Amino acid sequence: MIKKRVLCSSIVLSVMILSKLYSTPNSTSEEDPIRKALLEQVEKQKKAIALSPEKQKEAYYRSVMFANEQVPLHNPSVEKKFERYLANFSFRKQQSYDLHKKAAAHLPQIAAILKSYGIPEDFKYVPLVESDMNPRITSHKGAGGYWQFMPATARLYGLKVNGSVDERKDLIKSTHAAARYLKSLYKEFNDWTLVAAAYNVGGGSLKNTIRRQGTKDYYNLHLNRETGSYVYKLVSMKQVIENPNKHGYKRYGQTYDSYQHTNERNLL
């Protein structure tokens, strides 16, 4: 922060010097070496500020979106929770490329199906968070398959679940069912962030919470631990998949991550 203030002061000083030196009509030659050197110094200092860690973080956090809505990382409590879950999905914590292998193998299919229903693409990360793309996982409550459907909900949205067949384990069929379910939740809540929360906790339960607490803002709702962390997990998963280099996944990192490609150049 001190370094940043020094750079800003230096820029102001350079501009003042330029103004003094070239306040008369005879002092505006572009070939003047003093003026040229001062202008170059101002540009270097502006770039140094733009690429400082503080500015990089600020630009990155402005780029963090879920379902086409900006995550309010200017809120300190939201920022703290986001950073905690983001760290959990980093390569330093995972020490594995499994997430990216599974994403490369399955997410394009999932994204295409969701798109056909008008579901935001970010919901493709739900199976990675819910089941780690392992269809054999069953929760202690009985939720199973890629999307961790409860049997009754799975049947309601068109899947066969009985003693001999469990279509929750079929990626294509279960994704179509999930898209239908997400679409029905959106009709209830008209907010995709709340849809994600409702997918985790159930629509009825979330409606009761909203009614009791008098707010529809997910980030201000007091929810159970699992639901209160759910959107943060989805957002964090999105970040490590889309920006692998930034989060330590060097093998999958490109020259530019998606964030860096769109934002770092705009800082200058």
**What confidence tens digit (pLDDT) does each residue in 58-77 have?**
888 999 999 999 999 999 99
Residues of the chain with pLDDT under 70: 1-31, 38, 42-51, 253-268
Residue 149 has what DSSP assignment? Answer: B
Instruction: Compute the distance between CA of residue 260 and CA of residue 51 in angstroms, rounded to an integer.
Output: 11
Whether this model's pTM surpasses 0.75 = yes
Q: How far is CA 92 from the centre of its chain?
A: 19
Domain that holds residue 237: 56-247
112 occurs within a structural domain: yes
13 occurs within a structural domain: no
150 occurs within a structural domain: yes
Residue-level pLDDT at 266: 39
255 occurs within a structural domain: no
What domain count does the chain have? 1
4 occurs within a structural domain: no
Instruction: Compute the distance between CA of residue 54 and CA of residue 4 in angstroms, rounded to an integer.
Output: 9
**What's the CATH code of the domain at 88?**
1.10.530.10
Residue 254 has what DSSP assignment? Answer: -
Instruction: Compute the distance between CA of residue 145 and CA of residue 166 in angstroms, rounded to an integer.
Output: 8
Instruction: Compute the distance between CA of residue 118 and CA of residue 130 in angstroms, rounded to an integer.
Output: 21
Residue-level pLDDT at 23: 53
Determine the 3-state secondary structure of 17 from DSSP: helix
